């Protein structure tokens, strides 16, 4: 079945289509050119934020296109009719531009730099919706408003023009109350106290420079489809500081992927960068903090990118085995992977599709000869947050052991991977049991790396 709907350049929507969900043979031959949009309804006047509200800084991410759906108010349950011509990227971008302009007109400060301070992240989506009562397709725009901590505080939707959607945002008490909440140094105030601020600089012990070491550091706290992985972004930001000061990694040899900058395609891109950049005999440090998810049928463990969906893991998840394989394809002499995620599906930093049964039996990937994987928990356990909820429990003790030099158990000025494991593991086990769960970090060593004692993470460490 083919349903066509013309999308005029200025999105004069809603538009009426020539055919209902079950068209006649003649309607099947309807083309995009033959469809005609319905007259554009008068657009409501735009509202503006009250002057007393203060500046609300919003980070507007790129608009996402969703598959067409049936209107749940006018259509019975069932498969959506086929949209003859899907939304083009040009139309999707046009909606984003219109939303940007409407927000500015309403008094919001729209931020486009990922490094700038912002109070809310706005995640816009567009989709075509079929209304059975009028046999018409309409364009619907929706926006999710998310705090720096990954909390969804409000969502809005409108069909046709974006002005009604922005008006609803102006009228929302939760949106108005967000002014200044995400800024590191609000205007006219002292030092910021918001928990959404990045972690303070780590007072880490200094280590020798490692000019042949490259690092890829991933922290995904806010997800598009699932609940936040509390503290994951802070985990990555802290580790990046430690990697530079204690592990001696040059900033030019380091990439950091956080939240929506750690999509599936971003991970592929960064892993390809490692393959292209790391020289023969070099070293790679890979750090991941975020959700994991198991395939319920096969037990395959997946890292969950920002845009990952536990109900569609084969197409949206990032198999842990693939990440390990791509790391192996670099020219590095050795690869050290630190993974703060779990794959049991039982909670914590592991997610499942809605309705799925937890505690999936996970297939543990083998570590190739040159790769060491230090993971936060065994396959049937939960990797949780620290007692204060600010970091992953595993990441906290990895950071503490390295940054303070306490993991240098023999006090020879070097911290080996085995020393780090010996220092981190009992502390994680003890604190996890205090929270009534079992969590024991696991070290997987490739055959070419011995027992890990000779795998030195940091050398020349001295206390500040």
Question: What b/e string do you get for 145-155 counting C-beta neighbours within 10 Å, with b at 16 or more?
Answer: bbbbbbeeebe
The residue among 176, 203, 229 that closes a domain is 176
The residue among 154, 176, 198 that closes a domain is 176
| Six-digit token string for 307 | 């845009």
Q: Are residues 323 and 263 in the same domain?
A: yes
Give the model's pLDDT for residue 359.
Answer: 41
The residue among 153, 176, 199 that closes a domain is 176
Give the model's pLDDT for residue 464.
Answer: 44
Q: Are residues 163 and 240 in the same domain?
A: no
Q: Are residues 367 and 275 in the same domain?
A: yes
Q: Are residues 324 and 402 in the same domain?
A: yes
Instruction: Tell me the residue range of the domain where 248 lies.
Output: 213-459
Q: What does each C-alpha distance from 77 to 92, 201, 385 come to in angstroms?
A: 27, 53, 40
Give the model's pLDDT for residue 363.
Answer: 60
Its pTM stands at 0.58
Can you tell me the distance from the alpha carbon of 5 to that of 432, in angstroms, rounded to the nearest whole number?
56
Name 361's Cβ contacts closer than 8 Å, sequence gap at least 6. Answer: 299, 379, 380
Can you tell me the distance from the alpha carbon of 304 to that of 321, in angstroms, rounded to the nearest whole number?
13
Q: Are residues 115 and 242 in the same domain?
A: no
Give the model's pLDDT for residue 27.
Answer: 41
Give the model's pLDDT for residue 26.
Answer: 43
Q: Are residues 256 and 169 in the same domain?
A: no
199 in any annotated domain = no
130 in any annotated domain = yes
The list of the chain residues with pLDDT below 50 reads 1-39, 184-198, 345-348, 350, 352-361, 464
Q: Are residues 29 and 134 in the same domain?
A: yes
Name 213's Cβ contacts closer than 8 Å, sequence gap at least 6. Answer: 247, 248, 249, 253, 282, 283, 284, 285
Furthest-apart CA atoms within the chain: distance in Å: 83
Name 129's Cβ contacts closer than 8 Å, sequence gap at least 6. Answer: 68, 69, 70, 71, 137, 138, 139, 140, 159
Give the model's pLDDT for residue 331.
Answer: 95
Q: Are residues 126 and 248 in the same domain?
A: no
Q: Are residues 302 and 435 in the same domain?
A: yes
Give the model's pLDDT for residue 258.
Answer: 92
Smallest CA-to-CA distance from 149 within 182, 113, 125 is with: 182
Which residue in this structure is represented by tokens 């990937």? 365
**Strand partners for 257:** 218
Can you tell me the distance from the alpha carbon of 99 to that of 60, in angstroms, rounded to the nearest whole number?
9
303 in any annotated domain = yes
Q: Are residues 172 and 217 in the same domain?
A: no
Q: Are residues 349 and 451 in the same domain?
A: yes
Give the model's pLDDT for residue 226.
Answer: 86
376 in any annotated domain = yes
State the total domains in the chain. Answer: 2
Give the model's pLDDT for residue 243.
Answer: 94
Give the model's pLDDT for residue 367.
Answer: 74
403 in any annotated domain = yes
Give the model's pLDDT for residue 73.
Answer: 76
Give the model's pLDDT for residue 201.
Answer: 55
CA angle 13, 16, 19 (to 5 degrees): 150
Give the model's pLDDT for residue 81.
Answer: 64
291 in any annotated domain = yes
Give the model's pLDDT for residue 357.
Answer: 36
SS3 category, 51: helix
């Amino acid at each position: 079945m083919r349903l066509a709907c013309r999308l005029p350049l200025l999105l004069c929507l809603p538009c009426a289509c020539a055919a209902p969900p079950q068209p006649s043979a003649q309607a099947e031959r309807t083309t995009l050119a033959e469809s005609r949009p319905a007259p554009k309804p008068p657009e409501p006047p735009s509202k503006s934020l009250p002057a007393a509200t203060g500046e609300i800084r919003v980070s507007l991410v790129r608009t996402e296109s969703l598959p067409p759906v049936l209107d749940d108010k006018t259509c019975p349950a069932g498969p959506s009719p086929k949209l003859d011509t899907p939304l083009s990227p040009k139309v999707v971008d046009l909606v984003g531009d219109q939303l940007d302009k409407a927000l500015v007109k309403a008094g919001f400060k729209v931020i486009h730099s990922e490094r700038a301070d912002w109070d809310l992240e706005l995640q816009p989506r567009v989709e075509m919706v079929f209304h059975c009562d009028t046999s018409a397709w309409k364009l619907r725009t929706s926006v999710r408003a998310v705090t720096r901590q990954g909390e969804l505080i409000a969502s809005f939707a409108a069909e046709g023009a974006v002005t009604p959607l922005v008006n609803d945002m102006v009228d929302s008490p939760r949106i108005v109350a967000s002014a200044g909440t995400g800024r590191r140094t609000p205007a006219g105030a002292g030092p910021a106290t918001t928990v959404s601020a990045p972690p303070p600089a780590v007072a880490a012990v200094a280590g020798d420079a490692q000019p042949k070491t490259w690092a890829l550091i991933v922290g995904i706290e806010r997800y598009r489809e699932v609940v936040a992985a509390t503290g994951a972004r802070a985990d990555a930001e802290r580790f990046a500081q430690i990697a530079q000061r204690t592990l001696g990694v040059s900033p030019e040899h380091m990439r950091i992927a956080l939240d929506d900058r750690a999509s599936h395609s971003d991970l592929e891109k960064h892993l390809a960068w490692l393959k292209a950049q790391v020289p023969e005999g070099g070293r790679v440090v890979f750090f991941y903090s975020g959700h994991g998810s198991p395939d319920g049928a096969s037990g395959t463990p997946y890292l969950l990118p920002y845009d990952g969906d536990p109900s569609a893991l084969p197409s949206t998840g990032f198999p842990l085995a693939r990440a390990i394989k791509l790391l192996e394809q670099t020219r590095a002499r050795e690869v050290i992977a630190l993974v703060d995620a779990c794959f049991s599906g039982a909670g914590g930093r592991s997610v499942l599709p809605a309705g799925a049964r937890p505690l999936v039996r996970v297939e543990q990937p083998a570590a190739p000869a040159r790769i060491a994987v230090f993971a936060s928990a065994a396959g049937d356990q939960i990797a949780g947050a620290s007692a204060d909820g600010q970091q992953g429990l595993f990441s906290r003790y990895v950071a503490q052991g390295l940054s303070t030099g306490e993991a240098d158990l023999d006090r020879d000025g070097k911290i080996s991977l085995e020393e780090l494991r010996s220092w981190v593991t009992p502390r994680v086990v003890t604190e996890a049991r205090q929270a009534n769960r079992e969590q024991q970090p696991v070290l997987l060593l490739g055959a070419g790396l011995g027992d890990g004692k000779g795998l030195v993470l940091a050398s020349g460490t001295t206390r500040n």
